[in-house]
Structure 1
Amino acid sequence: MNRDELRLAVIEALQVVAPEIEGDEIDADEELREECDLDSMDFLHFLEALKQLTTINVPDADYDKVDTLNKLLDYLQQADGQ
């Protein structure tokens, strides 16, 4: 998947747990949980939805590597071999 496709998958996964989220309203360099008002359970559900859409698992140890939208997209691209 290219970066645009990954971004769409991230937004779709976010909307599973927070349907009111609009992708263009997210500051890509700010903390994703703060930007989208996600608690820890919402974040876990988001990552599970993202895994279903992309088949990419983000292990607990890597949560600090995916705390902003840009960092998450970088992580997903690397994991996807892009």
Structure 2
Amino acid sequence: MTREDIKTLILEIIHDIDDEADFDDLDPDKPLRDQLDLDSMDFLDIVMELRKRHQLQIPESDYPRLATLNSCADYLEPLLQDA
């Protein structure tokens, strides 16, 4: 899976959680939670969806590494290289 595929995957998951999410002015280097008004439950839903779709186990200690769209791609790219 490429970096762009991973970014698209994250945005698809967010859209599934919040179908009113607006990605038009999304800055890939700023925290997703701040830009999209995601709460902690929304964030956990994203992690759970990654587990369900790709059998990824993301430890809670790594959650901060999923803060921005680019950091999600950085973190997930080696985990999804064969996906």
The two structures have a TM-score, normalised by structure 1, of 0.83
Distance 2:54 2:4 in 1: 13
Matches for 1:1-80 after TM superposition, within 5 Å: 1-80=1-80
- Pairwise CA distance, 1:66: 1.2
- Pairwise CA distance, 1:32: 1.2
Equivalent pairs counted in the alignment come to 82
- Stretch moving more, 51-60 or 61-70: 51-60
Q: Structure 1 residue runs of 4+, over 3 Å off?
A: none
Structure 1 vs Structure 2: percent identity of aligned residues?
33
Structure of greater relative contact order (alpha carbons < 8 Å, 6+ residues apart): 2
> In the superposition, relative to structure 1, how do residues 4 and 47 fare at CA in structure 2: closer, same or farther (>3 Å)?
same
- Pairwise CA distance, 1:47: 1.6
Unmatched segments (≥5 aa) in structure 2: none
RMSD of equivalent CA atoms: 1.8
The two structures have a TM-score, normalised by structure 2, of 0.82
After superposition, the C-alpha distances for 1:13-72 in whole angstroms (9 at most, x for unaligned) are 101221112434321111111111111111101221233333333221101111111101
2:40 is matched by which residue type in structure 1? Answer: S
- Stretch moving more, 22-31 or 63-72: 22-31
